[in-house]
Chains A and B, each alone.
Chain A
Amino acid sequence: EVQLVESGGGLVQPGGSLTLSCAASGFIFSDYWMSWLRQAPGKGLEWVANINPDGSDRYHVDSVKGRFTIFRDNADNSLYLKMNSLRGEDTAVYYCARHFGGDTFDSWGQGNLVTVSS
């Protein structure tokens, strides 16, 4: 069974940093593209970033470019999102998700809340 478990969220002040982790199991992690997505309270879903299987290629949505970095450790079956210069509008539940066929997300973690507030 595919399992994705996020951790590392919490309350952080504006301008602060946080690193989210996603532990993967139940599949060959190093074979898959992976993404981070987020959902602000009461709002819709937003794709944030993705990374290719060996970690050499990555993309980020414009609103987080230069502030967030996605990376992975295939030896540890883990996905990460390093978030710097956090803003109030980054407050959201962050999900890690596995790509299927490259263009959809077939498995999602349970989500991890990040709150940016003073």
Chain B
Amino acid sequence: QSALTQPASVSGSPGQSITISCTGTSSDIGGYDYVSWYQQYPGKAPKLMIYDVSKRPSGVSNRFSASKSGNTASLTISGLQAEDEADYYCSSYTSRITWVFGGGTTLSVL
């Protein structure tokens, strides 16, 4: 199963908005509304930020939003803050009853 495709890095200034894309296929992102996004700080476990394409778990800031169109999902972070600097991973359920992840995107807040 090939990994989902994410940009290696994105950056933005405090207060700005950024969007991270995640491209898959019709066997994963395009076939199911089961896309998740995770935030990971260095040396720490991933944290669920978005599930079922656009739902936020309790406690996650509403500055985080997400969507999907065809085989591509997107995560948008608005009002960037220094604490948002982390790695972000997208994930999707697949037709092979497995889960596939993107390669990760490092967000820098300049």
Binding site for B on A (CB under 8 A): 35, 44-47, 59, 61-62, 95, 100-101, 103-106, 108-111
Residues of chain B within 8 A (CB-CB) of A62 are 1
Q: How many A-B residue pairs have CB under 8 A?
A: 57
- Chain A residues near B57 (CB-CB < 8 A): 100, 106
Whole-angstrom distance between the alpha carbons of A43 and B103 in the complex? Answer: 7
Q: CA–CA, A103 to B99, complex, Å?
A: 8
Q: A62-B1, A103-B34, A108-B45 are in contact. Are A44 and B52 (CB under 8 A)?
A: no
Q: How many angstroms from the CA of A12 to the CA of B101 in the assembled complex?
A: 27
A residues less than 8 Å from B45 (CB atoms): 95, 108-111
**A101 lies within 8 A of B52 (CB):** yes
In whole angstroms, how far apart are the Cα atoms of A108 and B102 in the complex?
18
With a cutoff of 8 Å between Cβ atoms, the chain B residues found around residue A95 in the complex are 45-46
User: Which residues of A lie under 8 Å from residue B3 when comparing CB positions?
Assistant: 44
Q: Indicate the size class of the contact surface on chain B.
A: 20 to 34
**Distance of A44 Cα from B8 Cα, bound (Å):** 11
Interface residues of B, Cβ cutoff 8 Å to A: 1, 3, 32, 34, 36, 38, 45-48, 51-52, 57, 89, 91, 93, 97-104
| Chain B residue, CB-CB nearest to A105 | B48
21 contacts between A and B (CB under 8 A): A35-B99, A44-B3, A44-B102, A44-B104, A45-B46, A45-B89, A47-B91, A47-B100, A59-B98, A61-B1, A61-B98, A62-B1, A103-B32, A103-B34, A104-B51, A105-B36, A106-B51, A108-B45, A108-B47, A109-B45, A110-B45
- Shortest beta-carbon contacts, A-B, top 9: A103-B34, A47-B99, A104-B51, A108-B45, A104-B36, A45-B101, A44-B104, A44-B103, A103-B93
Cβ contacts under 8 Å, A103 to chain B: 32, 34, 36, 51-52, 93
Q: A45-B101, A103-B36 are in contact. List 13 more A-B contacts (CB 8 A).
A: A44-B102, A44-B103, A45-B89, A46-B101, A47-B98, A47-B101, A101-B51, A103-B34, A103-B52, A104-B34, A105-B46, A106-B48, A111-B45
